[in-house]
Amino acid sequence: MNLMFNPEGNDEVSARTIIKGQTTGLFNLNAVKYSWAKSLYQVMIGNFWVPEKVSGLKDDARMFHGDLSPEEQRAYKGILSFLIFLDSIQTVNLPHLSDYVTSPEVNLILAIQTYQESIHSQSYATILETVVDSKERDEIYYFWRTDAILLERNKYIGQIYENFLQKPSDENFFRAVVANFLLESIYFYNGFAFFDTLVDKMKMMATGRVIAYIRRDELTHITIFANMIREIRSEFPAIYSEEIIREMMGVAVAQEIQWSKHILGDRIVGMNGQTTQEYTQWLANNRLAMLGLDPLFPQVVTNPYKHLDRLQDANGDKSNFLEGTVVNYTQSSSMNGSWDF
């Protein structure tokens, strides 16, 4: 773990490493080694938003009770439960990882990510408060208590983080970094696809706008951890393990398919077990490509959900998975000149 203040530390860029560096603890942001972190800082600050600015959730409340099928209502609540867990655990876990990152510019964007995860948690609370009946809220928050598949999913990712917290070895740290990458890049996305599918049918439009903002944030979070993994591979090849990445990706894909088939099944128009499997495997191949790795499912080369590209084009929310770039719509003012040196 980093010292809070190390008078013997060296803040020179030439001595800086992503982890295991010996810095003073000073946030010297006038000298940057990882230019990708500077770029992401500008995007993430420019992406500022709060759920109170998203209008129309009362319309969603009327539609939830009047227009959604029982299957769509069940999926809506179950997917929210999983997303709430993911962002809750991220908010708590990210500072533990930051304790071992020795690049001030990377620590800065991890702090912004932590803030954004808390905004996501607030957003889900706002959705629940507005859309669903008060007696159902605890059921959604604690859906994992009665759903064995969701509980198993939550335990898997939670245990990886807990293992790192209790025993911060090099391997456990690397597994925690990979788990963050998988959480941000795989675990959210069938849920996002469900909300986008509702929007494509002109249902739950305000919820869809909130999810679009959250997804936009998550794209930057994916990019953070993809870059961190690449830097570890470059600077600490003994810690880096392609075998661990591929093993954990395989587990993540299997769990995501199992959970999505369970909560969505073949009951949602436009989504079924086959499209769920193909979409998850397609995502996995794209995420591995971000790390410069071969696909885990070479037979899957296309996204079965063509409407997702159309919706994301309309929102201005597009990502280039291979290069890790994100082009966004923003609510904040221009960032020109920020952190400019």
279 is catalytic: no
- Which of 41, 76, 124, 240 is an active site residue? 124
Phi, psi of 146 (to 5 degrees): -115, -5
Beta-strand ranges (E) seen in the chain are 318-320, 325-327
User: How far apart, in whole angstroms, are the C-alpha atoms of residue 275 and residue 74?
Assistant: 19
Q: How far is CA 232 from CA 18, 20, 143, 281, in A?
A: 7, 10, 37, 25
With b for 16 or more beta-carbon neighbours within 10 A and e for fewer, the 297-311 pattern comes to: beebeebbbeebeeb
**Structure tokens belonging to residue 295:** 């696909």
DSSP string, 63-86: HHHHTS-HHHHHHHHHHHHHHHHH
Residues annotated catalytic, as ranges: 124
